[in-house]
Amino acid sequence: MTRDQPGGDGAAATRSPPSIRRRLLLLLLSSIALLWIGTAAFSFAAARHEIDELFDAQLAQSAQVIMAQAHDQLDAVTTEVEEFRHRYEQKLAFQIWDDQGRLRLRTANAPLLRMSDSDDGFSDTVIRGEVFRVFSRWERDGRFLIQVGQSEEIRDELASDIVLILLSPVLLGFPILALLIWASVGRGLAPLDQTARDVGDRAPGNLSPIAPRQAPAEVQPLIAALNDLFLRLQEAFESERRFTADAAHELRTPLAALKTHCQVALRATSEPERRKALAKVMTGVERAAQLVHQLLTLARVDPESALRDTQPVDLHALAEKVLSELGPEAVERRIELTLDEGPGPRVNADPASLGALLRNLVDNALRYTPEGGAVSVRAGVMEGAPVLEVEDTGPGIPPDQRGRVFERFYRIPGNEEQGSGLGLSIVRRVADLHRADIQLEDGAGGRGLRVRVRFPAT
């Protein structure tokens, strides 16, 4: 047995997803049905117009024939002609009036009053609740007026019969057409079904590209997008595997050192020896804590992820906050830490990750600048673009090494300063996240290092 998910989502879970085949079939059949309905309406209007033309001509002709054949019956007044027997003839009626306004001859279904007030031409009138088309005409010598009327129902019925005869094959063929369209849509969507089967049959770790299998042009963008997704996932998984392996390797060293110092402290026989070992333990703990903090920061600021909580950030105010946090460390190392005066530009960014970028730059500068040196921070505008600059008076980075220092856990050969090699990797990730450029240059007078982070111009 299965249970619905909490919150009443069971009905939503069992509801079938939208079907492209069903949607196409509905759209095609609806369009064809609307087209046929429009065709039927046009055909009815056209047939009715032609029938009106034909029957109007017959009414005029019938008036002449009736007048020519009725002279021998005009001596009697209000003579009635026997009822018609044809189903259409029952809707026909005529009257003959003399110039004195007397009814001389009429059909049994004609009224005793004039069918129309018109004396010449066609007119529409209502007789006993039914619409009639009436043709009126005086005899040549003006003695008699003949009026011939025909029910509009005849014309509507005949026009409907004609349209029904024309559309009957179409209506009978509609189910067959629906089946043909359904089969054609299914055949056209077969490559999409094949692609779905290829993806569904894959092993979880199989991220190789999908073969097009001669897919039509409409499916090619989907296959290309899936292949691009697989490639990016493969690169991301490979990057995470390397990151995990490197992190495990880097954590192994400080943890092993901590274990060694703890063992020394436990075996110490004098208080000075124990204090010295515990001091080394504290140093190792601080190094491991810094490494773990940087690893977590590096995992959080992933350039593949989108910025979620962006807001206008004042670079000068951000620099003031970071320098106030790192000020005690600069005082302890006897390094002059300064920030240029003046209002700073604003950038649309994530304050937390941007703070991590600047904090790592300043921390690196303090770490590698000798006692008595200086570290300066500047937030300003260069060629219309906001920039952050951190400059120190340390040993700098050789030009041939500047391309590699952004790699994770990479440290310049011969550098004895303690560190994890993650600071500039974090800076690179945050910069990529904000579409900013990073430049490494020599400091003032060719001494030290200047790091410039340039954000997109607003």
Residues of the chain short of pLDDT 50, as ranges, are 1-13, 76-78, 84, 88, 90, 306, 413-414
**Is the Cβ–Cβ distance between 367 and 417 less than 8 Å?**
yes
Burial environment of residue 405 by CB neighbours within 10 A (0 to 12, 13 to 18, 19 or more): buried
| Residue 281 neighbours by CB under 8 Å, 6+ apart | 258, 261, 262, 265
Single out the residue of 307, 446, 440, 319 nearest to residue 380, CA to CA. 319
Burial environment of residue 194 by CB neighbours within 10 A (0 to 12, 13 to 18, 19 or more): middle
Distance CA 454, CA 378 (A): 12
**Residue 240: strand, helix, or coil:** helix
pTM reported for the whole predicted model: 0.46
Q: Please report the pLDDT score of residue 11 as a whole number.
A: 46
Locate tokens 């450029």: which residue? 437
Residue length of the chain = 458
Q: Where in the chain is the domain with CATH 3.30.565.10?
A: 308-454
The three-point CA angle 414-420-422 to 5° equals 110
**Is the Cβ–Cβ distance between 135 and 59 less than 8 Å?**
yes
Q: Where in the chain is the domain with CATH 1.10.287.130?
A: 220-298
**In DSSP terms, which residues pair with 151 in a beta bridge?**
132
Q: Please report the pLDDT score of residue 415 as a whole number.
A: 53
Single out the residue of 420, 424, 427, 415 nearest to residue 250, CA to CA. 420
| Residue 307 neighbours by CB under 8 Å, 6+ apart | 349, 350, 433, 434
Q: What is the CATH number of domain 220-298?
A: 1.10.287.130
270-299 per-position pLDDT tens digit: 888 888 878 877 877 776 776 666 666 656
**In DSSP terms, which residues pair with 377 in a beta bridge?**
339, 390
Cα separation of the two ends of the chain: 59
CATH topology of domain 308-454: Heat Shock Protein 90 (3.30.565)
32-78 per-position pLDDT tens digit: 888 888 887 887 788 778 878 887 887 888 777 777 766 655 654 44
